[in-house]
Amino acid sequence: MKILYFAWLRERVGRGEEDVTLPSDISTVGQLVTWLRGRSAGHEAAFAQGRLVRCAVNQDFATPDATVTDRDEVAFFPPVTGG
């Protein structure tokens, strides 16, 4: 699975992209976040403010209950501030 991070999530994780092999017991965005938080102190810092983390699965906005598979592109980022 391809994971992307943007803005301050990217800075806290320390990279903008990583490839991970999804454990078989993870099937939702919420479960993925819980698992990612354990990967490093940077990941933990990035996801600590859960209220401010948004997610997209295959480039569409997704909620914590959205389904994910090993073939998906999943991105995490703060609320958008363009325009």
Partner 1 sequence: MARIVVQTEDFDTGAELARLTAGRLDVGGIGSFIGIVRDTAHGNPITAMTLEHYPGMTERAMTRIAEAAEARFGLLGCTLIHRVGPLSPGENIVLVLAAAPHRQAALDGTAFLIDWLKTRAPFWKKERFADGAQGWVDAREADDAAAARWGAL
Count of alpha carbons within 13 Å of 69, Cβ hemisphere only? 1
Q: Does 38 bind partner 1 (CB under 8 A)?
A: no
Task: Kindly report the number of other CB atoms within 10 A of residue 19's CB atom.
Answer: 7
Tell me the C-alpha distance between 35 and 13, whole Å.
14
From the list 22-30, 32-40, 42-50, 59-67, the region that binds partner 1 by CB under 8 A is 59-67
The answer to the question of residue 77 lying near partner 1 (CB under 8 A) is yes
**3 is a site residue for partner 1 (CB under 8 A):** no
Rule CB under 8 A: is residue 82 a binding residue for partner 1? Answer: yes
- From candidates 7, 48, 49, 63, binder to partner 1 by CB under 8 A: 7
Cβ-in-10-Å burial (0-12, 13-18, 19+) of 81 comes to exposed
For binding to partner 1 (CB under 8 A), which residues are involved? Answer: 4, 6-8, 56, 59-61, 75, 77-83
